[in-house]
Amino acid sequence: MALIAGIITLSFRAEKAPANNYPTLPKDSAGSAKAFMSVYKVLMSPRCMNCHPSGNAPLQGDDSHIHTMNVTRGVDGKGIYSERCSNCHQAENAAGLHMPPGNPKWGLPPANMRMVFQGRTPRQLALQLLDPKQNGGRTKAQLIDHMANDDLVGWAWHPGDGRTLPPMSRPAFAAQVRLWIAKGAYAPSAKTK
Amino acid sequence: METNEISRRNFLRVSSVAGTALCLGVYFPANAKKGRLNSTANPEQPGVELNAWMRIDTDGKVTLTDHRAEMGQGSYQSVPQIIAEELEVNLADVNIIFAQGSQNKYGSQITGGSSTISSSYKNLLKLSATAREMLITAAAAKWAVPTSECYAESGSVIHKPSGKKFHYGELVADASKLEPPKEVTLKKRSEYKLIGKPLKRRDTPMKTDGTAIFGLDKRVPGMLFASVERNPRLRGKIKSFDDSEAKKVPGVTKVFKINMKVFNTMREGVAVVATSTWAAMQGRRALKIEWDDTGFEHINSADIYKKHEELLKTKEGLSFKKQGDPNAALASADKKVDAIYQTPYQAHAAMEPLNCVAYYQGDKVEVWGPIQAPDWVQGDLAKQLNLKPEQVTVNMTFLGGGFGRKAFLDYPYEAVIISKELKAPVQVVWTREDDMTQGPFRAGVSYRCEGAIKNGEVTAMKFRMAGQNIDHWSGPDRSKPNESTAESFLKPYFKSIDNISFADVPYEMPLPNMWWRSVYASTNGFGYESFMDEMAHAAGKDPLEFRRSYLKDEACQALITRLEDVSGWKSREKNSGYGTAITECFGSTVGQVVKVSRTSSGGIKIDKVWAVMDCGWYVNPDIIRAQVEGSIIMALGAATAHEITFKDGLPEQHNFYDYKMPRINDVPPIEVHIMENTSDATGVGEPGLPPFSPALTNAIFDLTGKRIRKLPFNMNAV
Amino acid sequence: MITITVNGQQHDVDAEPNMPLLWVIRDILGLTGTKYGCGAAQCGACTVHLNGEAVRSCVTKINRAAGQNIVTIEGLSAHNNHPLQLAWNEMNVPQCGYCQSGQLMSAAVLLRENPNPTDQDIDDAMSGNICRCGTYQRIRSAIHKAAEMQTEGAKI
């Protein structure tokens, strides 16, 4: 168990962003929240949300149905027993419709840091993303780096045959993340949907 | 380990030495329905076509030639279990090998219609008892004692007064010179030591260490691999193809067009041959083919069912069976039920996709594969290739599931024509997608069922079906109703209900269809037994009590009582739904009770299934239980998980991601009970399937008041 | 040449690096106990152990296995005597038998990691393997049986 925890910590720390270095702009709660809404739309797209489910099973497909085969998260987010993610999901997408997509880091967030997107309102998700206790211990700079540079996050824009892309490009997405944080990292109001 | 290969070599070596073995078989003269017993020391004796079903060698080992396929149904275990019983040998001393295809020798070899045991057990018993008596006679003669003082046990003949003993092996030379006795006494059921016991299957060890050889595992020296791109729209043709990229794939050795006759039309495709299965598949992906679909089928599923409904609402159809005057009784009824039930098209989807190894060598051809009907394949290949049947050798391997699809003749023939072009042995491997999309499919059938109730009693039942008729693909004859129109319906109803009619409203379309586990009973059962439940409710009766009051024969009464007892029907739990259905096919009656409840998320969960099987005389109760468990799960899939739908003439499902299978987390506990009675043996492999889907939807009605009349349905959205 | 170790034996395989491990095992090495069922990681018939994990060999390219340790059904035990194999025989699990190599290889990982699995654990581990004959109920019983046998065996 200690080993698994160590690996999880390691995989987060692999992002090499300086902990407290990110661009800032004058505080602008409306502008910040507006940028977050663009970020939110990407995070709630099937390519991102399917691996940030509310339950312990990943989701599949553009309709975000529960993954067939009764797949479960497991402690490290990589599945359990003979249903480990990497038993089917390779380091790269398998060619063809309905073939397993792939990435070297394929998996869900771990059980102790579930980072649920599914069902979260914009405000809930924004607050969650900013909370190091819920975001994998990331500073704002690390959060930007994760969104902009992480390889598994980047898979969403190379999802393999037959899968729709998030609603904007990755650079545009990363720009909106930076903007959201630069303008003060405001969470949209509770009424925002 | 190739058990059958090794045994066959031994068999040939030993049998060439006359007088050293006792061979007994049932001789099936061509076109004769009943077998005739024969024996000889030399199976090659001129003039005698002896089917060496059973051979006892000088070492006392018994070899059986299993003329039927082993596709999971257990003939590999149950046939030796029968033989060892009457022959009085230890089961461990009985070896079994698969027969090659030959109707002259074995009679019908089609492993279908749940017939492996029911059609052969009497012959097998008699054959074994005959051998036993001949061995006893031989021993008695050696000792110069009366045969009445001798008995057989554990592969030996024992002289009771003296305790002297001959091993069977020591007797075969003498016994083989004897005339077989005309009459033999079979053991009483109470004397059975093996039959009726849940003995372990002898094919299990081979299936747990990877040594069982299925069709796909067959290897012959110099064998190449082929994958075929066939027109996705059946009967379509090839306009042109470009194989330049395919030929660049490493390992691809040859690409060529094939055409073959299937379903009375030509099937066209492009075969890619390579040094490995993967290379052949890759080469195939690189093909560029332009298909000619003009004039071929462009049908949609919705149109099929719309047409069924229209036919059922406007046509009386071809009468299959009729007693009394159902229309008159319906006209004077107090209460009527009139409902349409619909069932989907299905793929067989055996876990082992279709495949076949073939080696064409001009004046002879040999095939190896997962084949349900080796004699049919032999006959078909001989005809298509202008050869004599004896020039065609058909070898059965283990089958990774069959369910009817592997009784068809297209895939061995395709392998042969590819081998003919290559002049080399080749294994043709169908991909899962080929297996799922190329058909033939189980036809989706719709039923209209009307019932009349007067003074609380059923006065009429009128059934009409509309759906493709399997018999029609070989040459349409629309003047006759589907011969399975009333399949699954229990005959005793004809005695207790005055007015009953069955009719088939002809519906044809050109997509190929064929038998699928339990054939039309698989769809009829849903229509007829859902309707029976609606009738019970309309009559204000308990559904099981309702059946009891109309199924008055002794066997049905006993089965219903057993079902009632094992399922706790009388003390049904509240907040649960219970449904029942009883059907008959291949001679066996099966009743089931399904218990369902609501899940916390609002879906339906199956808590338990109870099944009672009446298959008369039986061999191995555990194999029967396994067959019923499997039938129920296959029915569960067809009712709730998968169907084949068509769009523009093409199947819309391709693989298990869109033709979803029940998995271990989807299946309920199943409890199977077997009736004990003195009836003859009847079918086992299929009769457990038809009652499940109506029992399930009847249970859902009991729980929710919602009647499901169309399969498949979503258990999470009832 | 790609070097892989299968059932303890090292092989130098002349295969295109994209060829799935399944076809290397079956068509090049001639070990046919591992089955082709779907080619899409849907059915589990092709399950083998890659460094102890129950990978679906139909979607695992040979280059992932380079230099790694593979165990197929033929290598699950020396004499068909892994507790699961014994339990499969005891409970008459297989019907047609085609999927059972994959079922056993999946179950072996479960039993290694959880010597006393619950029904839920069995569901969590075994739902990636399809059996068309419907032997699931027996698979479940046999895994429980094997767990008992393994525990008893460990006591001796």
Domain ranges of chain A: 11-65+114-182
Which string of DSSP letters, residue by residue, matches A105-154? T-SPPPTTS----TT--HHHHHHHHH-TTTTTS--HHHHHHHHHH-HHHH
Strands B457-466 and B499-504: parallel
What single DSSP character describes residue B717?
G
List the alpha helices (DSSP H) in B176-220.
204-208
**Tokens at residue B251, please?**
């390992």
Evaluate whether B207 touches B128 at the Cβ level (below 8 Å): no
Note whether C67 and C9 are same-domain residues: yes
- CA dist list (Å): B682 to A27, B4, B624: 83, 28, 11
| Average pLDDT of the residues in B4-31 | 40
Residue B390 lies in a domain: yes
The upper half-sphere exposure of residue C66, i.e. CA atoms within 13 Å in the direction of its Cβ, equals: 12
Domain boundary among C32, C50, C75: C75
Judge whether B655 lies within some domain: yes
Burial of B327 (0-12, 13-18, 19+ CB in 10 A): middle
CATH, residue C66: 3.10.20.30
Report how far apart, in Å, the C-alpha atoms of A117 and of each of A100, A178, A188 are: 22, 19, 15
Q: Is any Cβ of chain A less than 8 angstroms from the Cβ of B710?
A: no
Residue B130 lies in a domain: yes
pLDDT in tens, A104-135: 999 999 999 999 999 999 999 999 999 999 99
Residues in chain C with CB shorter than 8 Å from the CB of B277 are 23, 26-27, 36
Query: How many Cβ atoms are within 10 Å of B636's Cβ, its own excluded?
Result: 26
Convert the pLDDT of each residue in B602-647 to its tens digit: 999 999 999 999 999 999 999 999 999 999 999 999 999 999 999 9
Is residue B585 a part of any domain in this protein? yes
Number of domains in chain C: 2
Is the distance from CB of B675 to CB of B612 less than 8 angstroms?
Answer: yes
> Which of B145, B178, B203 is the endpoint of a domain?
B203
Are B360 and B506 part of one and the same domain? no
Claim to verify: residue C88 and residue C55 sit in the same structural domain: no
Q: Is B605 exposed, middle or buried (0-12, 13-18, 19+ CB in 10 A)?
A: middle
Contact C39 B432 (CB under 8 A): yes
Q: How confident is the model at residue B19 (pLDDT cuts 50, 70, 90)?
A: low
Contact A87 C56 (CB under 8 A): yes
Which residue, of B429, B457, B485, is where some domain finishes?
Answer: B429
Give the span between the Cα atoms of B184 and B178, in whole angstroms.
15
DSSP code per residue over B110-168: ---TT-TTTTTHHHHHHHHHHHHHHHHHHHHHHHT--GGGEEEETTEEEETTT--EEEH
Closest CA to B554 of B637, B675, B671: B675
Among A78-82, B3-7, B450-454, the least confident range: B3-7
* pLDDT tens string A43-100: 999 999 999 999 999 999 999 999 999 999 999 999 999 999 999 999 999 999 999 9
pLDDT of res. A6: 41
CB B323 within 8 A of CB B420: no
Q: Which of B139, B172, B203 finishes a domain?
A: B203
Instruction: Let me know whether C35 and C93 are in one domain.
Output: no
Do B23 and B112 belong together in one domain? yes
Q: Of A71, A83, A100, which has the smallest distance from its Cβ to C59's Cβ?
A: A100
B410 and B447 inside one domain: no
Token readout for C87 is 């339990």
Task: Say whether both C11 and C59 belong to one domain.
Answer: yes
Of A80, A90, A99, the CB nearest to C60: A90
Asked if A96 has any chain C CB less than 8 Å from its own CB, the reply is yes
Domain of residue C55 covers: 2-75
Same domain for B90 and B160, yes or no, is yes
B97 and B157 together in one domain? yes
Q: How many domains does chain B have?
A: 3
**C27 contact B CB<8A:** yes
Nearest by CB: C42 against B211, B277, B656: B656
Chain centroid offset of residue B8 CA: 26
Residue that finishes a domain, picked among C40, C58, C75:
C75
Chain B CB contacts of A68 under 8 Å are 657, 660, 663
Residue B667 banded pLDDT, cuts 50, 70, 90: very high
User: According to the model, what pLDDT value does residue B474 have?
Assistant: 57
Least confident of B176-180, B281-285, B587-591: B176-180
**B231 within 8 A of B238, measured Cβ to Cβ:** yes
CB contact under 8 A, B400 and C20: no
Same domain (yes/no): C89, C136? yes
Residue A146 corresponds to which amino acid?
Answer: H
Say whether residue B352 is in contact with chain C using an 8 A CB cutoff.
yes
Torsion of CA B331, B337, B338, B343, to 10 degrees: -150
Question: Is the ipTM reported for this complex over the cut 0.90?
Answer: yes
Cβ atoms of B215 and B352 within 8 Å: the answer is yes
Helix axes C136-155, C119-126, angle to 10 degrees: 110
Residue C28 gets which letter from DSSP? I
Domain that holds residue B548: 315-346+442-704
Question: What whole-number distance in Å separates Cα of residue B401 and Cα of residue C37?
Answer: 12
End-to-end CA distance of chain C: 45
Both B105 and B226 in one domain: the answer is no
B23 shares its domain with B51? yes
Q: What is the pTM of this model?
A: 0.93
**3-state SS assignment for residue C122:** helix
Dihedral Cα C106, C108, C111, C112, nearest 10 deg: -120
Residue B709 placed within a domain: no
Residues B195 and B244 in one domain: no
Q: How far apart are CA B128 and CA B168, in angstroms?
A: 13
H helices of B166-300, in order, are: 168-175, 204-208, 244-248, 277-285
For residue C76, what are its two tokens? 């699950």
Instruction: Report yes or no on B150 lying in a domain.
Output: yes
Residues C106 and C148 in one domain: yes
Residues 6+ apart with CB under 8 A from B275: B224, B225, B251, B253, C27
Nearest residue to B623 via CA among B579, B712, B684: B684
The token duo for C102 is 């994959």
On whether both C63 and C13 belong to a single domain, the answer is yes
Query: Looking at chain C from residue 80 to 119, which residues have their Cβ under 8 Å from any Cβ of chain A?
Result: 105-110, 113-114
Of B655, B658, B663, the CB nearest to A70: B663
B340 touches B447 (CB < 8 A): yes
**Residue C55 and residue C98 in one domain:** no
Cα B11 to Cα B275: distance, rounded to the nearest angstrom: 33
B658-692: b or e for each residue (b if 16 or more CB lie within 10 Å)?
bbbbbbbebbbebbbbbbeeeeebbbbbbbbbbbb
Q: Which residue among C16, C45, C75 closes a domain?
A: C75
Residues B571 and B480 reside in one and the same domain? yes
Q: How far is B715 from chain A (nearest CA, A)?
A: 15
For position B132, which CATH number holds? 3.30.365.10
Mean per-residue pLDDT, B499-509: 94
Mean of all residue pLDDT scores within chain B = 90
